[in-house]
Chain A
Amino acid sequence: MSRVGQLWQSLRFAPLAIALLFLSGITPANAQMEFDIDRSTLEAWIFQGNGAQSQRDAKSALESAVRVKVQALTNEFGLTETQRETLLLAARGDMKRFFDRVTRCFAQVEGMQMDEDGFQKAWEMTLPLQQELRKGLFEEDSLFTKVLHRTLTAEQSQQVREAEEMRDRQRTEAIVNAYIAMLDTQIPMLAKQRSQLSEMLRDAITKLPKDQDEYMMMMVVYHAGRLPREKLLEIFDEEQMKALDRLGSEMEGAEEWMREEGLLVEPAGEED
């Protein structure tokens, strides 16, 4: 991970670690900064930011999420009972794989000395699990998705692809328009300008990665900063252009980091 990426990760989670430390009542046990970290604390680190209070809660929420997902596929694409069972089995596999890692993490942490370094290390060990859960256990690289693609008939696969494309377009439109609404509070636009900018941005963004929700708005900001100036000049007045030029310069330099993080789907030079 790049230094920018590391900085961003540390900026994102350092306050949370400190907040959790105090909220959970963890205090140094002695002058050498020994920390008392129990199982519930580790569970809070992994699961709390994902809407669950404990491992048990998280399992229950994931089981509901799978049932919802499979039911949606059944309703839309007419899955057979065998297909349903196969998918549920695959999802259970993804969950088992994840919770096995959680168990191993707990075992490792429980054997560690909880001084300052140990505390930091424990936090760093739980972080990837927290992030994986946040991204979703049944997304693109999951057993669930792989089995889904193998299980469907050719006709169902085609229907799923079309539905996903439609959903991607709707998703892009929603995020682009939310961004324009935000930009509109800084650079007030006329209806025609908003509409033209929305169209330009939707054309420029071929795909937004699905498992990086926290960067969605930043992705749109990035693409907005790369829109051809000559096209923008056809839409916006001098005062608005001044602000948009500033926006473009703000995003210079972000590309390298975004590419390293896998946020940019297309290779460099093929986006324009």
Chain B
Amino acid sequence: MSSVSGRTKLHRQFSLIALVLFVPASSVAQDEVGPVVEVGEAARIVDDAIIVQDVVQGAIIDGAIVEIEGVNDEKALAAMRDAAQASLLTDMKFLLRLELAFAKRACPLDKDQLELVRQKLEERLPGCKDMVMDVAVFRNGFGFGMGGGMATVAATTSEGHSLKENPYSRIQKEMEKTLQELVTPEQLARYQEEVQAKNDFHRQSSVGMVVELIDQRLSLSAEQRQTIRQRLIERWENPASISFEMYFNNPEYIPAVPESAVQPFLNKDQRNIWSRLNRHDFPIQVQSDQFGVFGDE
């Protein structure tokens, strides 16, 4: 193998596991926003569709704009919202195909059923636009995807737009509703059983990974590992919405797990280290068809 071909393939693989350096929008509080764009400078929203070329006074942070003058707010807001919704719908179409493939495996559907389920599910997709995070208004301008600076980003689209709900969970819900109308109770039960097993696996794997991350940082005893694992399974509400690769590259961060599941079981020195770690959930990002599964359809 030449180094050059290795480099190309390696680069593709790294893009697959999404190792990126970024400042998560959800981690920036409103009061921390400072001016980075001077009056008269052209500015644009990071990688998004809208270009703000009017006089701008304020700051841009990872898709958020503050204190804009001379910009048609309503038009700009609508353009941003449209771009996010379009991105989401593209992703949801891909997730629909994945979920159909999963449903076929879980509860074999005949050709007619498959087509009906596909049609019905496609009709439901526009309703998923409500997952796009609300535009937050702050100071004299507005931000995008900030949820008022308080809401948690549950996931992002493949283009990085913030979502308030995990799209993988949402497509499951939409599929379940669709199957309830179109398949036999036995088929539905088999689908639900597999979905439950899938969600349990994702939950357990997230908990296992967090225990591993905590252990790396705090040298847990076997008993502590077991206790914290159990408490996390009981108390951590949304463990499957986290991108774990980020924590391998950023040892100062740890997912924002419930304190009551960890802190009471640590000794004094472990608590000291624990208190220094930055709690932050790096949200999952919808991945496009990286394996080309549907590329030739």
B102: which A residues are within 8 A, CB to CB? 188
Size range of the chain B interface in the assembly: 35 or more
Residue A64, interface by CB 8 Å: yes
Interface of A is mostly: helix
Cβ of B225 and Cβ of A170 under 8 Å apart? yes
Residue B219, interface by CB 8 Å: yes
Cβ of B6 and Cβ of A15 under 8 Å apart? no
Interchain Cβ contacts within 8 Å, total number: 169
A252 closest partner in B (C-beta) = B9
B249 closest partner in A (C-beta) = A214
Cβ of A174 and Cβ of B194 under 8 Å apart? no
CB-defined interface of A206-220 with B at 8 Å, one 1/0 digit per residue? Answer: 000000011111100
B202: which A residues are within 8 A, CB to CB? 181, 184
Tell me which of A61, A177, A250 contacts B16 (CB under 8 A): A250
Cβ of B205 and Cβ of A178 under 8 Å apart? yes
Cβ of A252 and Cβ of B99 under 8 Å apart? no
CB-defined interface of A52-85 with B at 8 Å, one 1/0 digit per residue? Answer: 0000000001001101110110011000000000
B1: which A residues are within 8 A, CB to CB? 252-253, 255-256
Residue B72, interface by CB 8 Å: no
Known A174-B209, A214-B249, A257-B10; contact A247-B3, beta-carbon cutoff 8 A: no
Query: With the chains together, A173 CA to B219 CA distance in Å?
Result: 18
Query: With the chains together, A170 CA to B198 CA distance in Å?
Result: 20
Known A64-B272, A65-B273; contact A174-B218, beta-carbon cutoff 8 A: no
Size range of the chain A interface in the assembly: 35 or more
State which residues 2-26 of B face A: CB under 8 Å. 3-7, 9-14, 16-17, 21
CB-defined interface of B198-221 with A at 8 Å, one 1/0 digit per residue? Answer: 100110111011011001101111
Tell me which of B16, B98, B198, B219 contacts A72 (CB under 8 A): B219
A107: which B residues are within 8 A, CB to CB? none
B106: which A residues are within 8 A, CB to CB? 190
B9 closest partner in A (C-beta) = A253
CB-defined interface of B246-289 with A at 8 Å, one 1/0 digit per residue? Answer: 00111110000000000000010110110011100000100101
Query: With the chains together, A214 CA to B276 CA distance in Å?
Result: 21
Residue B116, interface by CB 8 Å: no
Cβ of A2 and Cβ of B3 under 8 Å apart? yes
Tell me which of A3, A4, A191 contacts B201 (CB under 8 A): A191
A253: which B residues are within 8 A, CB to CB? 1, 5-6, 9-10
A68: which B residues are within 8 A, CB to CB? 218-219, 267, 269-270, 273
- Give the residue among A65, A171, A181, A250 with the most B Cβ atoms within 10 A: A181
Cβ of A190 and Cβ of B194 under 8 Å apart? yes
Known A67-B269, A174-B209, A175-B209; contact A213-B219, beta-carbon cutoff 8 A: no
CB-defined interface of A162-186 with B at 8 Å, one 1/0 digit per residue? Answer: 0100110011011101101110111
B106 closest partner in A (C-beta) = A190
Query: With the chains together, A75 CA to B278 CA distance in Å?
Result: 28
Kindly list 7 other residue pairs between chains A and B, CB separation below 8 angstroms, not including A188-B99, A254-B13: A68-B269, A134-B251, A186-B287, A191-B194, A213-B216, A243-B291, A256-B1
Interface residues of A (CB under 8 A from B): 2-4, 7-8, 15-16, 19, 49-51, 61, 64-65, 67-69, 71-72, 75-76, 134, 163, 166-167, 170-171, 173-175, 177-178, 180-182, 184-191, 194, 213-218, 221, 237, 239, 242-244, 246-247, 250-257
Interface residues of B (CB under 8 A from A): 1, 3-7, 9-14, 16-17, 21, 98-99, 101-102, 105-106, 168, 194, 197-198, 201-202, 204-206, 208-209, 211-212, 215-216, 218-222, 225, 240, 244-245, 248-252, 267, 269-270, 272-273, 276-278, 284, 287, 289-293
